[in-house]
Amino acid sequence: MKPLRNPRRLPVSRRQVLRGLLAASAFGAATKLTGCTAASEGEGEGETSSGGGSEDLVVGFIYVGPKDDFGYNQAHAEGAAAIAALPGVKIVEQASVPETTEVQEAMREMIDIDGATLLFPTSFGYFDPHILELAAEYPDVQFFHAGGLYEDGMPDNIGSYFGYIDEAQYIAGIVAAYTTATKKLGFVAAKPIPQAIRNINSFTLGARSIDPEITTQLVFTGEWVEPVKEAEAVNSMVDQGIDVITCHVDSPKVVMETAERRGVYTSGYHANQAELAPEGYLTGAEWDWTSIYTQYVEWSQAGDTLMNGGIPHIVRGGLESGFWKLSPFGPAVSDEAQQAVEAIKEQFADGSIAIYKGEIKDNEGNVQIEADKEFDQKAVELETMDWLVEGVEGKVS
Amino acid sequence: MTAIARQKLEAICLPMAAILVALLLFGIFCALAGANPLGVYGSIYRAAFGQWSAWQNTLLRASPLMLSALCTALPAHLGLVIIGNEGALIMGGLGAISVGLALGTSLPPLGVQVAMALAGMLFGGVWIAIAGALRHYRGVNETIGSLLLNYIAIALLNHLVGGPMKDPSSLNKPSTFPLADLNMLGTIPGTRIHWGLVYGLVACAIAYVLMQRTTFGFAARTAGGNIRAARIAGLPVGKLTLAICFLAGSCAGLAGMVEVAAVHGRANESLNVGYGYGGILVAFVARHNPLAGALVSVLLGGILASGGILQRSHDLPDATVLVFQGIVFLCVLYSESLYGRFAIFQEREALPASRKATV
């Protein structure tokens, strides 16, 4: 029970506060004692209103794994925590929700019981069919989804957002190139999907922009969360003489810890994993959801919605729009590398650099991007990427 | 009170008491985690069974568990411990989507749905029958065999949805081509529960009748009781093993078909989310009785349905619901060891007899 969320704001006397508290606790006691009756519908409403007043914007977040996974879900939860601190915003969260009817039920409860009007179901696989179904059923609630899957013709209350984190992987590749002694890098990825392939290629291109002799050994584990195989992959990479390892799995924890134990360098992904590998952590490609979530809240508080056209259906960007950030450099990163990174970052910030600029060959020797061609980050060719650049040792299938 | 009535009473009272004890233990856990146990109980009740909407949530979660539980419960009567539910479910889903896509809209929707259900049952059934055959003809331990078949099924699913059956437009979540909307299994009118619940209830009822009220079931239970005696009595143990395993697998396969045809509309990694393992739990807690299995599925569905509110209203971590589930099932399983220990549920005839002796 939180009868007064913002006591500082309300000019009330102590007596009023006491009376309010008394009433609230009586209400609380009553609901507990009669909690098992048919009154639960009204009770749900009571909770919403006593929870924060009618002006509060209730925002629901749903994660596919735990909120403290040092990975994908933690990155979103950090963004959620940032907007929870904004005035007039209340968040409700639910973690470890699989991509089945369970996520539909979670969304439904957040809308019906908690009164959420903005929902952020963050896992990629929540979109089709789950968000599509619920969005049609609740046309007044807005659904925002990470992944850029919105297309014309879908319900008007769906929005998509996503960032070009491969830019950060490109920079991480540069840092790795300055650090490696053996010129062999390792990449542990979950599945050969275009997003992961793009990260692998950008990381490798970044490293080879510094030293073209560098190679990246690639291992796919097959599942988003597969700790045993992730550890095996790291161990075998270290045995092969690889000395910088990064990954694209849901929770990079095992990769980072195993590599640290084996005494090699690591580069993080999704969130900051520096505390897992204090010695070997170089930097990391982190999502920065705080800015986009704050943006959505500001739009909503100004009265903009997806339905009235005030909020665009697709929001995506790179460093210039604050979608990603780099982890602070670890102790092993040289000054030279840091300076190189700062220079490249400026180029990303003003958009004067293209990662995919011809000529680029794949690792079977075929020219994939011709010499005079250059792909903008928005290019559809990059979103369907199914080939690995020269220097990657591995196969897509 | 007759002996049978006492037995029935015991079979009802013991699990109820076990659940009460579990609630008490879970309350202590919640108090330690900093939540008000009474508030938590209220929330669990409201989220699982408090109103019609919550009931629908619970029943939705229960329906795949009912079907998947039969995959363990049926072979148990034959003395086999089969835990290949997940694999059979996945194979059923794959079979259903293959047939659904192959038929397209060439048949009326009902025809396609029936064909998909049959294909799901066939695929799932054959999958577990393989485990049964390995057991009967080659002496391969059926528990390990069926467990390993799970991994093969998962690998096959990943291979097919990532390769030969992949819809090229499903970029970052590889899936098969989608079923035609027309062919999707709808919901039970007036609810958001899909027809899988009805399939589950019907399958549990059929399984009960089959095992308890037919000569086939009797033969199976006899073979489960003493395989050598069954052989001497001339029972076809091999055929029984294969038939029961096939039926068991077909139930889980049907669950896979429902996931594909009612929920996802395509096959992808979301088929592999643990309904199979949930089913094993249900089967053991229900003591392999199909009817009890239906009830336990609803109970487990309710527990899972309350997971959300524990996180949102009580700030408990997401694993709390698993702790709750674990405590409930441990208590129920422990209570099994208490059958026959309470005098109140026993025949009292022995008592007067001993008195007579002393007088």
In this prediction, residue A21 carries a pLDDT of 53
Walking along chain B (359 residues) 10 residues at a time, the average pLDDT comes out as 81 87 94 92 90 92 95 95 96 96 92 96 97 95 96 95 88 90 90 93 96 93 91 92 96 96 92 90 91 93 90 89 90 87 72 49
Structure-model confidence comparison of residues B351 and A179, the more confident one: A179
The tally of domains found in chain B comes to: 1
What number of helices (H) and strands (E) belong to chain A?
12, 17
d(CA B115, CA B103): 9
Q: Which two tokens stand for residue B64?
A: 């795949």
The CATH number assigned to the domain with range A55-163+289-320 reads: 3.40.50.2300
Cβ atoms of A68 and A251 closer than 8 Å: no
Specify the DSSP element, H or E, that contains B148. Answer: helix B142-162
Q: Range of B137's domain?
A: 63-288
B290-305 and B37-49 are packed helices; what angle lies between their axes, rounded to 10 degrees? 120
Number of Cβ within a 10 Å radius of residue A346 = 12
d(CA B19, CA B333): 11
Quick check: A43 pLDDT over 50? Answer: no
The answer to whether residue B52 sits within a structural domain is no
Q: Sign of dihedral through CA atoms A171, A172, A174, A178?
A: positive
Nearest chain A residue to B263 by CA distance is A101
End-to-end CA, chain A: 54
In this prediction, residue A13 carries a pLDDT of 58
In this prediction, residue B11 carries a pLDDT of 82
DSSP string, B265-300: SS-BGGG-SSHHHHHHHHHHHTTT-HHHHHHHHHHH
In this prediction, residue B92 carries a pLDDT of 97
In this prediction, residue B339 carries a pLDDT of 85
Asked if B42 reaches chain A (Cβ–Cβ under 8 Å), the answer is yes
* Amino acid at the residue A390: E
A93 interaction partners in chain B (CB closer than 8 Å): 311-312
Asked if B315 reaches chain A (Cβ–Cβ under 8 Å), the answer is no
Size of interface A-B (CB pairs under 8 A): 99
Specify the DSSP element, H or E, that contains B138. Answer: helix B109-138
- Is A193 in contact with B173 (Cβ distance < 8 A)? yes
Asked if B171 reaches chain A (Cβ–Cβ under 8 Å), the answer is yes
d(CA B76, CA B82): 7
Mean pLDDT of A131-140: 94
Quick check: A2 pLDDT over 60? Answer: no
Domain with CATH 3.40.50.2300 in chain A: 55-163+289-320, 166-286+329-393
In this prediction, residue B13 carries a pLDDT of 87
- Is B53 in contact with A192 (Cβ distance < 8 A)? no
Mean pLDDT of A50-54: 45
Q: Quote the pTM value.
A: 0.84
* Secondary structure class of A59 (helix, strand, coil): strand
Quick check: A148 pLDDT over 90? Answer: no
Q: Which two tokens stand for residue B332?
A: 């129920």
Quick check: A58 pLDDT over 80? Answer: yes
In this prediction, residue B208 carries a pLDDT of 96
Asked if B51 reaches chain A (Cβ–Cβ under 8 Å), the answer is yes
In this prediction, residue A306 carries a pLDDT of 93
In this prediction, residue B154 carries a pLDDT of 94
The chain A residues in contact with chain B (CB within 8 A) are 31-32, 35-36, 38, 40-41, 43, 47, 66-67, 92-102, 105-106, 108-110, 112-114, 124-125, 129, 147, 191-195, 222-223, 383-384, 397
In this prediction, residue A260 carries a pLDDT of 96
Task: Give A361-381 pLDDT, tens digit per residue.
Answer: 999 999 999 998 889 888 888
User: Minimal Cα–Cα distance from A41 to chain B, Å?
Assistant: 8
Quick check: A227 pLDDT over 90? Answer: yes
A124 interaction partners in chain B (CB closer than 8 Å): 172-173
- Is A93 in contact with B57 (Cβ distance < 8 A)? no
- Is B42 in contact with A36 (Cβ distance < 8 A)? yes
The minimal CB distance from A112 to the residues B39, B42, B53 is found for: B53
Q: Which two tokens stand for residue A282?
A: 């170089």
Pairing of strands A89-94, A57-62: parallel
In this prediction, residue B1 carries a pLDDT of 63
Task: Give A93-134 pLDDT, tens digit per residue.
Answer: 999 999 999 999 999 999 998 999 999 999 999 998 899 999
Is A166-286+329-393 a CATH 3.40.50.2300 domain?
yes
The maximal CA–CA distance of chain A, rounded, in angstroms, is 80
In this prediction, residue B118 carries a pLDDT of 97
The answer to whether residue B6 sits within a structural domain is no
Number of Cβ within a 10 Å radius of residue B259 = 30
Q: Which two tokens stand for residue A294?
A: 């704050």
Number of Cβ within a 10 Å radius of residue A4 = 17
d(CA A211, CA B51): 65
The predicted complex's ipTM stands at: 0.86
Cβ atoms of A118 and A296 closer than 8 Å: yes
Task: Give B98-155 pLDDT, tens digit per residue.
Answer: 999 999 889 999 999 999 999 999 999 999 999 999 999 999 999 999 999 999 999 9
Task: Give A290-346 pLDDT, tens digit per residue.
Answer: 999 999 999 999 999 999 999 999 998 888 888 999 999 999 999 999 999 999 999
In this prediction, residue A77 carries a pLDDT of 95
Interface test with B, best of A43, A72, A102, A229 (most B CBs within 10 A): A102
A38 interaction partners in chain B (CB closer than 8 Å): 51
Phi, psi at A343, each rounded to 5°: -65, -45
Structure-model confidence comparison of residues A80 and A372, the more confident one: A80
Asked if B53 reaches chain A (Cβ–Cβ under 8 Å), the answer is yes
In this prediction, residue A8 has a pLDDT band, given cuts at 50, 70 and 90, of very low
* Secondary structure class of B347 (helix, strand, coil): coil
